[in-house]
Amino acid sequence: MQDSCYKLGQFNDRQGVIVEIGSWKGKSTVALALGAAQIHSEKIYAIDPHRIMPEDGYWEDTEKEFLDNIQQAGVSAQVVPMVMTSAAAAQNWHQPIRLLWIDGDHRYEPTKLDFSLWEPHRVEGGILAMHDTIRKNGPKRVLWEQVFRSDRFQEIAIVDNITAMRKVSHASTGAKLRKNFSLAARALYIAARKSRVPNAKQTGRRLLEKLTRQPWLILLLAIFSASIAR
C-alpha cells in the first residue's frame, strides 16, 4: 500500500492540496508526503481524531505515535495534522483538492459521509482513491453507488486493495467502455479470491493491476522510476 500511496502522492496534473481521511500512525501519510515532495509543495491535510473509540473498533490514541512517525520521516513540514473527525474538518473547508484519499471508518454510513462531504471539493481531473475496496463492504458499496454507476469518473485503476479514479465532467464513450472492462476484471478477481483454485488470488491481483493500469498511472510510474534513478 505504501508504494501505491507514494505514487498517488506524485500526481500533479491539477492544482490543489492532498486530503487524507484516516491517518492512524502515519504510514500512508508519510508515503503520500514523500511522493508529493518529488513533484510539488502542496500540503497534505491528515485528518484523524486519533481517539480511542471502542464502539467503532479503535482501541488506541495514536496522535503521539503519528506525530513522532511523520517527524522521523522528515515530512512534518509538509503535513497539516487535523486531529478531528472528517465531518468536523469538512466544516469551513474551502480548498480545492487534487487527491482525496479515503481510509477512515470503513463502515458504510461513515464512508458514504466521507465521500459526500469531501468529494465536492475535488477539482475536475483530480483523483479519488479509496482503501479496502475489495475486502470491506462499506467502501465497496459506496464505490458502486457513487462512482461505478456515475458518468463522472473514469480511468479506474485497482492496485493493492486501493481503487483510484479520475473525476471528469462527463466520461467519453471510450472511457465508459474501459470502465466496464475494468469492472468486469474486478468482478472476476473478487470471484477468484473466493475460489479454492491454487494461486488464484495472487494471479488475479497481478492481472487486475495490469488490466486496469491506465495511462495516468503509467505516467506516475515513469515519474517514480525517473525520480529514483536520479
Ligand X SMILES: C[S@@+](CC[C@H](N)C(=O)[O-])C[C@H]1O[C@@H](n2cnc3c(N)ncnc32)[C@H](O)[C@@H]1O
Binding region for ligand X (CB under 6 A): 21-25, 27-28, 47-50, 58, 62, 85-86, 103-105, 110
CA max distance for the chain: 51
Min dist. Cβ of residue 22 to ligand X (A): 3
Listed in sequence order, the residues at least 6 apart from 143 whose beta carbon sits closer than 8 Å to its beta carbon are 130, 133, 163
Min dist. Cβ of residue 200 to ligand X (A): 26
- CB nearer to ligand X: pick between 13 and 63: 63
- CB nearer to ligand X: pick between 14 and 51: 51
Handedness of CA 4, 19, 52, 76 (dihedral sign): positive
Min dist. Cβ of residue 213 to ligand X (A): 22
| Cα separation values, 90 from 113, 121, 194, 196, Å | 10, 10, 37, 44
Copy the grid coordinates of residue 168. 471528469
Residue with cell 468482478: 187
Own/partner pairs for 63-66, CB < 8 Å, 24+ apart?
A: 65/25, 65/26, 66/23, 66/24, 66/25, 66/26, 66/29
Copy the grid coordinates of residue 226. 525517473
- CB nearer to ligand X: pick between 28 and 78: 28
Copy the grid coordinates of residue 35. 511522493
- CB nearer to ligand X: pick between 62 and 154: 62
Copy the grid coordinates of residue 156. 479506474
- CB nearer to ligand X: pick between 28 and 214: 28
- CB nearer to ligand X: pick between 24 and 115: 24
Min dist. Cβ of residue 87 to ligand X (A): 6
Residue with cell 470503513: 106
Min dist. Cβ of residue 210 to ligand X (A): 24
Min dist. Cβ of residue 155 to ligand X (A): 23
Residue with cell 483454485: 197
- CB nearer to ligand X: pick between 21 and 100: 21
Min dist. Cβ of residue 174 to ligand X (A): 33
